[in-house]
Amino acid sequence: MLLLATFAATLDAAAAVASKLAKQKAVAELLRGLEDDDRRRAVRYANGRPFAATDERVTGVSSRIVGDVVRDLLRIDPAVLREASIRHGELGEAVGELWPAAAPDAEPALTMADIATAFDALAATTQPAAKKPIVRDLIGQCVTDREACYLVKILLSDLRTGVREGVLQAGVAEAFGLELKEILRTQLLAGDLGDVAVLAKHGVHGEAAFSLFHPLQFMLANPIETAADAFDEAGGEWVIEDKLDGIRAQVHKQGDRVAIYTRTLDRVDESFPDVVRVIRSVPGDFLLDGEVLPWRDGRALAFAVLQKRLGRKTVTAKQLLDHPAAFIAFDALFLNGELLLDQPLVERQKALNAFAAIHPALLVLPSRIVSDPALVEAAFEAARTAGNEGLMLKQTHSTYTPGRRGGAWLKLKSHLPTLDCVVTAAEYGHGKRRGSLSDYTFAVRDGEKLVNIGKAYSGVTDAEIAELTTLFKSIAISDNGRVFQVEPKVVMEIAFDQITESTRHASGYAMRFPRIKRIRIDKGVADADTIERVREIYESAGNLGRKVEPPPQPPVPAEPTLFDF
């Protein structure tokens, strides 16, 4: 039986060393010696997952529940816990610091199996009030500060040990003498790294079958500025398609069961019962990649229509009528028993089109093959005229590489680029917005850090600001009454006139006239743009007059703390 204390000691040791190889070794040593169930749990919990990646249950434990329980158990002032959380930037280490010293004869006894049992019970209850006693009972069994610290980290799926999924994958490979690529491939098929560790241990990873209902990472596209760039980079032939303005979606179907995942790998089928109904009516088992669009009478509507549907758990008949949606497929990764991932794009699309020809309820995005930049330019203009965002160019013989932005897919957007930025601080506005958090400071990724690049307050509606105000208050790390430093969770697409060099922000750049184009509910921090992309835009020909200093702006709140993501 694996004790939580042993798990904590291993991860503490891994966190204490900087080298990834040393972290990986610590993980490998732990995984080798465990029983299968503990092996699965160790991998999942270290990866910040209470359940298998193929298991859709959630525990529903919030930092508020944990905070209440800890304050109650330790009889401490809320301000003490809040202050320690701000100092550590997380609740786990704060609880560790405040945990009383263990009695000399007290032996840690809480096991990973106990935690798993509590997770099952948590998933089976919906009311926060019913979850509290379960959490209280679990935390109350901790003896040492490190147990308490790690239990809170696991409960909140926020480990911050530097043992990310990549280290765990390499650790599993090292533990059982396999190549990393064998582990990645098995995980792609089976879905859950904990299960992969068990398959690898028994040498049967090669027999892993493809299972539906675990989201695959999406294949991503690189931005290009002109059609000619594509031909400079790779020449030859490209499949071109309109770039639709909706939400990227992965549709899994088997029998009557349907799941729709977004780019953040969250399920959204509750928000789209109309889409689910159509997909369910198409016979067969499949995994398709495509876009959910606002859709009426065979035509796409404005994206704003779709925003009314997102994030809703129950959709009324009126909303379905007022804001209808449809799924348009542009790729097939699995179709009626055949895994198509490794086939060339043209073959995958051939299979998709043949399937849709028999089942016309399934909508497929038209595509064609071109080998001339002038045709791409013309298609781009036609796509824009049709109200689409731009054009996608995909290499005809590329395989589907999940999670990769490898240059096999390119995106040609409007001539003015935008940046997907992460909000790091929100601040009260002025005038009629003085009661709402309506001014946002945002950042781009710089390696593992986030660096601020600008601040904007225009482009969001009053209704969105009201929702964001509630959200930002719930994910605030600290505030001075006016400016709230927030957990970096919300991604916004920012349009601007140009990028300038600036000492105002940690990124070394600023945006001139930034405007919020859209809240990217479909993107997570890992999808945000990088400082390299900012530099690229800064140096591109389109970024004219870049020596101009940005106009005076209100003072910027302090830099965000550095976060893992």
Give the Cα separation of 554 and 483 in Å (integer): 12
Q: Judge whether 505 and 477 are in contact, CB under 8 Å.
A: no
Which among 288, 250, 303 has a CA at the least distance from the CA of 364?
Answer: 288
For ligand AMP, the closer of residues 135 and 364 by Cβ is 364
SS percent in the chain: helix, strand, coil, step 5: 40, 20, 40
Report, in Å, the least distance between residue 316 CB and ligand AMP.
Answer: 26
Shortest approach of ligand AMP to residue 410 CB, angstroms? 10
Token couple for 484 = 């709230």
Residue 141 CA: distances (Å) to CA of 7, 54, 95, 134, 144: 16, 29, 14, 11, 10
| Amino acid (1-letter code) at residue 138 | L
* CB neighbours of residue 77 within 10 Å: 10
Q: Which is nearer to ligand AMP, 110 or 444 (CB)?
A: 444
Find out whether 237 and 367 touch, Cβ atoms under 8 Å. Answer: no
Residue 114 tokens read as 């106990």
For ligand AMP, the closer of residues 37 and 527 by Cβ is 527
Contact by Cβ (8 Å): 145, 9: no
Q: How far is the CB of 400 from ligand AMP (least distance, A)?
A: 11
Answer yes or no whether residue 411 interacts with ligand AMP by CB under 6 A: yes
243 touching ligand AMP, by CB under 6 A: yes
Question: Nearest distance from residue 532's CB to ligand AMP, in Å?
Answer: 15
Indicate the residue among 23 and 248 with the shorter CB distance to ligand AMP.
248
CB of 241 to ligand AMP, least distance (A): 4
**Is 243 a residue of the active site?**
yes
Instruction: Answer yes or no: are the C-beta atoms of 492 and 423 closer than 8 Å.
Output: yes
Cα 192 vs. chain centroid, distance in angstroms?
16
* In the complex, least distance from residue 221 CB atom to ligand AMP, rounded to whole angstroms: 5
Our measurement of the distance from residue 200's CA atom to the centroid of its chain's CA atoms, rounded to an integer in Å, reads 27
Return all residues near 99 (Cβ < 8 A) that are at least 6 apart.
74, 142, 144, 145, 148, 149
CB of 363 to ligand AMP, least distance (A): 12
Residues 282-321, interacting with ligand AMP (CB under 6 A): 291
3-class secondary structure, 252: strand
Beta carbon nearer to ligand AMP, 144 or 349: 349
Closest Cα to residue 210, out of 402, 352, 406, 403? Answer: 402
Q: List the catalytic residue out of 23, 131, 153, 243.
A: 243
**Which CB, 268 or 392, lies closer to ligand AMP?**
392
**Binding-site member from 275, 365, 379, 437 for ligand AMP (CB under 6 A):** 365
Q: Tell me which stretch binds ligand AMP (CB under 6 A): 20-28, 132-140, 209-217, 240-248.
A: 240-248
Binder of ligand AMP out of 41, 153, 164, 248 (CB under 6 A):
248
Helices 112-124, 128-140: axis angle to 10 degrees equals 170
Query: How is residue 3 annotated by DSSP?
Result: B
Residue-wise burial string across 226-245, b where 16 or more C-beta atoms lie within 10 A, e elsewhere: bbebbbeeeeebbbbbbbbb
Q: Which of residues 389-408 bind ligand AMP (CB under 6 A)?
A: 392
222: three-class secondary structure by DSSP: strand
Query: Rule CB under 6 A: is residue 380 a binding residue for ligand AMP?
Result: no
Site for ligand AMP in 164-223 (CB under 6 A): 221
Distance from first CA to last CA of the chain, Å, rounded?
30
Give the relative orientation of helices 180-190 and 193-201 as an angle to the nearest 10 degrees. 120
Of 149 and 221, nearer to ligand AMP (C-beta) is 221
Residue nearest to ligand AMP (CB): 248
Give Cβ neighbours of residue 426 (< 8 Å, ≥ 6 apart). 437, 438, 439, 440, 441, 468, 469, 472, 483, 484, 486
Map residue 445 onto helix, strand or coil. strand
User: Pick from 246, 299, 242, 245: which is nearest to 272 by CA?
Assistant: 246
Q: Binding marks (x or -) toward ligand AMP, 256..275, rule CB under 6 A?
A: -------x------------
Residue 529 within binding range of ligand AMP, rule CB under 6 A: no
Query: Least CB distance from residue 486 to ligand AMP, whole Å?
Result: 23
Tell me the window of 36-44, 72-80, 237-245, 470-478 that interacts with ligand AMP (CB under 6 A): 237-245
Closer by beta carbon to ligand AMP, 148 or else 230: 230
Size of the site for ligand AMP (CB under 6 A): 11
Residue 82 or 411 with smaller CB distance to ligand AMP: 411
Cβ proximity of 450 and 422 under 8 Å: yes
Please tell me the distance from the alpha carbon of residue 15 to that of residue 2, in angstroms, as a whole number: 19
How crowded is residue 297: how many other Cβ atoms within 10 Å of its Cβ?
A: 6
**Binders in 320-349 for ligand AMP, by CB under 6 A:** 330
Choose, by CB under 6 A, the member of 90, 241, 479, 487 that binds ligand AMP. 241
Specify the residue, 248 or 323, whose C-beta has the smaller distance to ligand AMP: 248
Residues annotated as catalytic are: 243
Site residues (vs ligand AMP, CB under 6 A): 221, 241, 243-244, 248, 263, 291, 330, 365, 392, 411
